[in-house]
Amino acid sequence: MTHEGPNRPARIVVIGAGIVGASLAYHLASKAAQVTVLEAGGIASGVTGTSFAWINTSCAGPDPIAALRGGAIAAWHQLETQVPGLTLRWHGALSYGTQDGRVSSSSIVLDGSGIAQLEPQLRRPPEQALYEPEQGALDAVAATHALLAAARVLGATVRTHTPVLGFAVRDAQVTGVETVASLIEADMVVLAAGTGTARLAAQLGVDLPIHASPAIFLRYQAPPGLVRAIISSHAMEVRQAEDGTMLAAEDYVDDAPHNQPAAIALRTASAIREELEGADFLRPELACIGLRPMPADGVPIIGSLPNIKGVYVCAMHPGVALAAIVGQLASGEIVTGEPAPALEACRPARFLAC
């Protein structure tokens, strides 16, 4: 798929330094590619920085990416053994009262006593809940930095605050990326810029239906030990770090004053206090909106553009959950040209007239 000469490695430019771009950069560099990462802002400055970062591989209903999702947790475990400073929390996830029908092969049904044993701070444990022991979470910003640091050790270059101005194209093939400072020649350009991916593709005359799906991200100061697993219920979706930092996620409603992030943070804090013993001293620290890159059909867009050579796309939600497995599989496709069967449902060609 790449066009390296006999005496040099493939030159790959990855646009986007969020967790997906960082995983791609690390995996490509580990396969001896010459990698340059370009980021318009800072590392993890987009949706990665506002991610709840739940490694959730369950799905409601038929799943067109079941094979991809099925490898996500193992891929993160593998990265943990390879990347210094990459730390994940595998405490499982407890769900009840959400009625979204999400299940996985590892799901366990717990009764009230089992729930109370797992989460002793719950004031009113439900009679029944679904527990996913294999699921986990991470600090998405710290993980992105760790992946890029590991990529640098392998020879990758990371250029932040370097927006892409355009592309060099010759004979229907992208041959480089234009920045303010220079033209960076490339055998392959990877678009992994979150919601900015559609804009970059548009510069090449390609219309990718990726919309920005807003969600509310909340962070609180809290006493340690309130929550062990991830809890997803009708009242709250929360998880807690070892230092006590509590993260919560809420649906975006609208831009009315009473639905602004700060107002939702206060309402959510009240709900958490109602649900958890010992949460009286919960204090809001951050409330913001994250914009998730959502393909029109909900399925990731991963693969080469069919109508212009030298461009590979990686746009998806959930990015954190899939970043490790996508980095692993997509880097293999880019370097070897061999298609990964688990990515077949994700091809950009499904949206494009070839």
- Whether 245 maps to a domain, the answer reads yes
Residue at 4 is within a domain: no
- Check residue 27 and give its pLDDT: 99
Which residue do the tokens 């077949």 mark? 344
76 and 222, same domain (yes or no): no
Q: What is the pLDDT along the chain (354 residues), one digit of tens a residue?
A: 555 555 578 999 999 999 999 999 999 999 999 999 999 999 999 999 999 999 998 877 789 999 999 999 999 999 999 999 999 999 999 999 876 656 666 789 999 999 999 999 999 999 999 999 999 999 999 999 999 999 999 999 999 999 999 999 999 999 999 999 999 999 999 999 999 999 999 999 999 999 999 999 999 999 999 999 999 999 999 999 999 999 999 999 999 999 999 999 999 999 999 999 999 999 999 999 999 999 999 999 999 999 999 999 999 999 999 999 999 999 999 999 999 999 999 999 999 865
Are residue 73 and residue 144 in the same domain, yes or no? yes
Reading phi first (left if > 0) and then psi (alpha if -120 to 50, else beta), residue 44 is in: left
Quick one: DSSP state of residue 59? E
Q: What is the pLDDT of residue 104?
A: 66
Residue 124, domain CATH: 3.30.9.10
115: domain range? Answer: 93-133+213-293
166 plus 270 within the same structural domain: no
Residues 6+ away with beta carbon under 8 Å from 7: none
Flag whether 5 is in a domain.
Answer: no
- Please say which residue of 247, 273, 293 terminates a domain: 293
* Residue type for position 16: G
Q: What is the pLDDT of residue 2?
A: 56
DSSP conformation class of 343: G
CATH at residue 39: 3.50.50.60
**pTM for the structure as a whole:** 0.95
Same domain, 147 and 196: yes
Whether 145 and 198 share a structural domain: yes
Q: Which amino acid is at 10?
A: A
What's the number of domains the chain is made of?
2
Distance CA 42, CA 17 (A): 8
Shared-domain flag, residues 147 and 184: yes
Query: For the stretch 69-81, what's the b/e string if a residue is b when 16 or more beta carbons lie within 10 angstroms of its beta carbon?
Result: bbbbbebbeebee
Q: Positive or negative, the Cα torsion across 71, 1, 43, 251?
A: negative
Write down which residue in 268, 293, 318 finishes a domain: 293
pLDDT at 268: 98
CA dihedral for 266, 267, 268, 273, sign (positive or negative): positive
- Same domain? 72 vs 176: yes
pLDDT reported for residue 9: 82
201 and 255 belong to one structural domain: no
The amino acid present at 14, given as its one-letter code, is V
Q: What is the pLDDT of residue 4?
A: 53
**198 and 303 co-located in one domain:** yes
Question: In this structure, what token pair is assigned to residue 285?
Answer: 């620290």
Question: Burial letters for 17-50: b for 16+ Cβ neighbours within 10 Å, e otherwise?
Answer: bbbbbbbbbbbbbbbebbbbbbbbeebbbbbbbb
User: Are 35 and 149 within one domain?
Assistant: yes
Residues 6+ apart with CB under 8 A from 76: 55, 88, 136, 138, 324
Tell me if 3 is assigned to some domain: no
